[in-house]
Chain A
Amino acid sequence: MRHAPRGMALVALLTLLAFVGGTAGAASHSDAPLIKQDPQVNLTDVYAFVGTKYNDPREKVLSVVVHVRPFSEPGDGVIYDRFADDARYSIHIAHPATGADVLRYDFKFSNVNPQSAPGLKNPNTILSYGLGAELGPINNVGDARQNFTQTYDVTKVVVADDKGPRGAISRIANDLLTPPPNVGARTTPAYNDASGKAVSGATSFAALDRYTRQTVFGLASGEAVFAGPREDGFFADTPAIFDLLDPRILGGGLGQAGTGVDGFKGFNVLAYAIQIPLHHLPSFDYQSPFFGPQTGVGVYASVSRPSVTIRLASTEARSEGPFVQVNRMGNPLFNEVLVALRDKDNYNRRTPTEDAAFATYARNPEVAVLLNTVFNTSFATTNREDLVAVFIPDVLRVNTATGPVRLAGQAGFSRLGFLGGDTASGVSGGWPNGRRLGDDVVDIALTAVASGPTYTTITVVGDNINANDQVYNQVFPYSATPHAGPTNRKDPE
């Protein structure tokens, strides 16, 4: 699921529909009310695409990057956002046609509030960064100046393979370091340039900042992983889409100016990410509504918590009891734009194999009804098997027979994927073939809603935001370097 503004835009749209004689009911100010209170486990975006290994451009890998914790404030101060220590952050590899899990990677994080070493070097200060055993800028991740350092373990679960259910569990990483947040030029200088702004856009591993380089770990099992603060790579201005009718109705009050403002500009997220060698992955046949028969895998992310959460400030979370999934995400926009309010939390609890229950939301998209009402158009509102094929089951389907795909900033990349001419071997470079950082999923999704099911005429619908506020890195972990606390892009320039 996604953050509040997109949900709020939908609410605004529903309100708007009431103005123009629609049937909108009472609307909550959250796209999934239960999760809004629990930002640390709130998934914002899942990216999955065929790339190359961080330190070997010859080896093809499946890269999966998951963003959680929307609207992390770069200048938070004191604590900064951390991964919840009582939750299980998972990346699932699934059958692209059935949605059934075949492989799962679980990331589990150390205590968010330790009182002593190794989690905390110096309990007698308010500073988590810049004053540990000694005072000064952090030169290396976990050095004497980094007071608090969160670590994590990664477990690989082979759920099933082509011979049937398995269940083999192996710990593939222990006590890996996460980098510090970008506190600012004086505390975390290696993230920033001379003006104190975060430096991003690295085109090779060697060009990444030192903290990120030091926290990308190649594992003996063949995977590579990263976890830590990143810039929020999503960009959208949903209210502008509805500007056509009357900008004043939607102007103001939404936390966005309504004139092409990236509502996610200047914010950070937390990211966990993995690169899996392609030869470690199964390959399944599936059908794409746009590109015909394909082979590849399905990808989605989830966060689970133990059924009884034991949150004691002074100890490690102890429950390893049965985990209950509290959040899930595959394709962008599905749960917040297509799924009706009454089913949003239900969706978060289910697995993709149960997604047939939600197919009606893709087949009869309410958003098309709303667009028709607002724009006086006649987009198809029923029998949208094209959208069902994209969203059900709700996993990102990644063709692993082609690639590596073009990345944002590289020649031939289009934020619109195949709609912008960015294809290889007849397959889109980006969503709905997997999803890359920089794919303009709002424009692609609304254009698809407006142009299908025949696509004989591409009707372009979208917002006025075409790029992220920060340039992405072109190497794992791909997401842009986190904004600095004192100098981030929320400030007018």
Chain B
Amino acid sequence: MTPRIVLAAAAAALLVLGATPGARAAGGAAAPERPSVDQTIDRLTGKTRREGQDRAAWAALGDAFMQKARETADASYYGRAEEAFERARSLDPGHGDALVGLAWVQSARHEFEKSIEWAEKALALDPANAAAYALLGDAALEMGDYDLAAEHYQKMLDLRPDISAYSRTAHFLFVIGDVRRATWLMDRAITAGGPYPENAAWCRAQLALMHLATGNLVAAEQIVDAAMSRTPNNYHVLFAQGRVRAARGSYAGAIESYRRAAAIAPQHEVIVALGRLYTVTGDSTRAEQQWTLVETINRLNRANGVTGDVQIARFLADRDRRLPEAVAIAEREFKRRPSVFAADALAWAYYKNGRYADARRLAAKALAHHTPDASFLFHAGMIHARLADRATAQRQLAQALSLNPAFDPIDGPVAAATLAELGARAPDEPQP
């Protein structure tokens, strides 16, 4: 049963996290009706048809397609956005929004090197282009250069502090382990608000996931509830709702949330989460369907120019599928973009291939920034257990469970069982 105050809390819709009451209305539901992204696309398509020389309209159409891609997770919109930005650039090679738009498309496709090129072109023409700094920061973050990311994001914030700047910085701070400022800034982002309801919904979902990742289940639930009342059909929010429900042990409810999210946008992470819940609830047929779907999504993404190598490597390692390929993919990815996520995926792939010493080296890199991700600690703990470093394994597994006891329906119980096994022998007894 939930304590009474928390029940009362759930009834209250408004989220005020570190912000003064009253400053809230800006991002709230009371804002005037804004056109939906489809209305914007219709309007701009008409405009570009009538006035084919309007470079600003072409760039704005590209932006609308990018927003549409965000809302549907349909990667085919990247191509349409790219076309629109290219039209704008062909009319004016120095069009800042077009150059930034092209950087945005490449960033969405995880082609960060290309994204950097376009962003630098935009900055050469206008050194005060905040969006270009945002994309440079994104690229640095994804490529694991956290000092450089901080530099770019600082310039972005100094030029234009808005939902985009706050939410990016919040995500960055979370990755480098500064949870308190991360959640505080994400709340600032929600307060600042964005042109489409999806923008704040994404921030709310991220904020809920940040709280969940650090074990603050009740806070995560309150934020999800607030987000659901505003944007009940946003797949990020539905995904967060599923995570919160799974953390509560309500697997049927979580499956329902994930299925709704997947029906809107079949994203890699939601399909994987769904498959894992089908696995723990004993529905191996449906679980298998999800694994097939994950591979299909990966192929579709590649066909649309999107690479998602870290997540697919981690998926293959998790599922014990094509393990040598998992190592090859993760090695390539880590060499190119040594982020903590790439380091973790490679550590886990080495572990699954029996290369424990290599796995330990990479696990240390994954943990170097204290990213609050219990699965990193879980992987590191399992690796050290294999290397018979009992004290380190115990500490890391205990830290994983302490950070977020419900971090994963499959790995969580494995962490607890391994911890129990490691703690079952006195130091003077022979170790297995």
Identify the A interface with B (CB < 8 A). Answer: 189-193, 195, 197-204, 206-210, 213, 240-241, 243-244, 259-260, 289-292, 375-378, 408-416, 418-423, 425-426, 428, 438, 454-464, 466-474
Contact = CB atoms under 8 A, between A and B. Distances in A.
Contacts of B406: 421
B9 A457 contact: yes
A421 B426 contact: no
Contact of B398 (A209, A259, A409, A464): A409
13 contacts: A200-B391, A209-B428, A408-B402, A413-B401, A413-B405, A416-B217, A457-B9, A457-B15, A457-B222, A458-B218, A458-B222, A466-B215, A472-B398
Interface in B392-432: 394-395, 397-399, 401-403, 405-406, 412-413, 416, 419-420, 422-428
Interface residues of B, number: 62
Interface string B177-211: 11111011000000000000000000000000001
B215 A416 contact: yes
B217 A419 contact: yes
Given A201-B419, A209-B427, A420-B215, 16 more contacts: A198-B391, A201-B398, A209-B426, A210-B428, A409-B401, A409-B416, A411-B416, A423-B3, A454-B5, A455-B6, A455-B9, A458-B216, A458-B219, A461-B180, A467-B398, A471-B423
Contact of A291 (B3, B21, B425): B3
Interface of B: 1-6, 8-9, 11-12, 14-21, 177-181, 183-184, 211, 214-219, 222, 247-248, 370, 372, 389-391, 394-395, 397-399, 401-403, 405-406, 412-413, 416, 419-420, 422-428
A91 B10 CA distance: 39
B185 to A, nearest CB: 10
Contact of A457 (B12, B179, B390): B12
Given A193-B391, A209-B426, A419-B218, A459 B398 contact: no
A456 B18 contact: no
Consensus secondary structure, chain A interface: loop
A398 B354 CA distance: 47
Contact of A201 (B5, B222, B394): B394
Given A415-B215, A460-B183, A292 B428 contact: no
Contact of B4 (A292, A420, A474): A292
B23 to A, nearest CB: 10
Contacts of A260: 177-178, 370
B411 to A, nearest CB: 12
B215 A414 contact: yes
A375 B12 contact: no
Contacts of B219: 419, 458-460
A460 B211 contact: yes
A412 B405 contact: yes
B3 A290 contact: yes
Nearest to B22: A378
Contacts of B4: 290-292
Contact of A409 (B2, B14, B177, B423): B423
A410 B390 CA distance: 17
A110 B232 CA distance: 67
Residue with the highest number of chain B CB atoms closer than 10 Å, among A189, A213, A471 = A471
Contacts of B184: 244, 375
B405 A203 contact: no
A258 to B, nearest CB: 11
Q: Which 4 A-B pairs have the closest CB atoms?
A: A456-B12, A467-B402, A201-B423, A426-B1
Contact of A418 (B178, B218, B403, B425): B218
Given A243-B180, A414-B405, A422-B405, A460 B1 contact: no
A208 B372 CA distance: 30
Nearest to B413: A411
B2 A410 contact: no
Contacts of B391: 193, 195, 197-200
B293 to A, nearest CB: 30
Nearest to A213: B426
A464 B179 contact: yes
A375 B18 contact: yes
Contacts of A378: 20-21
A383 B162 CA distance: 37
Contacts of A200: 391, 394, 423
